[in-house]
Structure 1
């Protein structure tokens, strides 16, 4: 049974890490690209700003199942989110999500080529280790003692 705390932890990690690799299908293959995520736990959604001219929009229209991979390598915290994507032209939401990183791609939130990419998660898995130095010590101790290290929590969550 999934604990409420596990669902909360997934959303906390998504918020904390902020950037992810968005993987989409493109025919027989997969393609991943870095994206800046905006999480909305109360809406059960992860949002991205995207450009109308991007290939991912066409890929999502054909194959809406996606994966988001978040990684905080220094803190040894990782989240993989599976869900369904859709492209929206919600001008109010675009203005709500507008932030400094978006200015690298568009002049202002009223740019007609900006779209919202909404991911509705169906499940997630997270790995929450105590931290790199502690993890290395545990791995070294396990190697010497011929046992497996306790590397923290690994939990699958239905969202």
Structure 2
């Protein structure tokens, strides 16, 4: 797991990206699909609306281990988060996170019995943040290719949890 400060660092990286790719196992095959963040803060759990009847729900019930990846190429931000997925029908949470964007995907409204929330409790992850311009990154890669024992220094990389 991670400290409150580290959770804020992760949130700062992903909150504006908004859409992460959720990876579940479809039998033995990893399968990814985009999921839209609905919360305004992060304390170790991520929330996504879903249909109770969606394939990802059945996949997550068979194997609760999931992975989420977020990326913003322009800002050089890449985040991978792994954790456990659980479906909830908590009406208070559905009310709390419901918004007009979500409503567009659920024309029957928040009281539709198929509406649910997918809760991802993050257990571990890794993130990369490139602080330099694309030109500097290309320079670092070229320099590493010229020097035998060098690797490019493209910015920050950190693992946590697990």
| TM norm structure 2 | 0.85
Q: Structure 1 residues 13 and 104, CA, compared in 2 at 3 Å: closer, same or farther?
A: same
Q: What is the number of equivalent residue pairs in this alignment?
A: 157
Separation in structure 2 between the aligned mates of residue 78 and residue 22 of structure 1, nearest angstrom: 14
What SS does the corresponding residue of 1:21 show, helix, strand or coil?
A: strand
Instruction: Name the residue aligned to 2:124.
Output: 123
- After alignment, is 87-96 or 64-73 more displaced? 87-96
What SS does the corresponding residue of 2:16 show, helix, strand or coil?
A: helix
Q: CA RMSD in A?
A: 2.2
Instruction: Name the residue aligned to 2:51.
Output: 51
Deviating above 6 A after TM superposition, structure 1's stretches of 4 or more consecutive aligned residues are none
Q: How far is 1:138 from its partner? A: 2.9
Separation in structure 2 between the aligned mates of residue 3 and residue 112 of structure 1, nearest angstrom: 36
Deviations 1:40-77 (A, max 9, x none): 423x2100000122001111111000000111111110
The gaps in structure 2 that reach 5 residues or longer are none
Q: Structure 1 residues 131 and 99, CA, compared in 2 at 3 Å: closer, same or farther?
A: farther
Separation in structure 2 between the aligned mates of residue 119 and residue 5 of structure 1, nearest angstrom: 19
The gaps in structure 1 that reach 5 residues or longer are none
Instruction: Name the residue aligned to 2:140.
Output: 138
| TM norm structure 1 | 0.86
- The structure with more helix, counted as a fraction of residues: 1
1:17 aligns with 2:20: no
1:149 aligns with 2:152: yes
Q: 1:72-111 counterparts in 2 under 5 A?
A: 72-107=72-107, 108-111=109-112
User: Is this contact kept in 1: 2:132–2:154, CA < 8 A?
Assistant: no
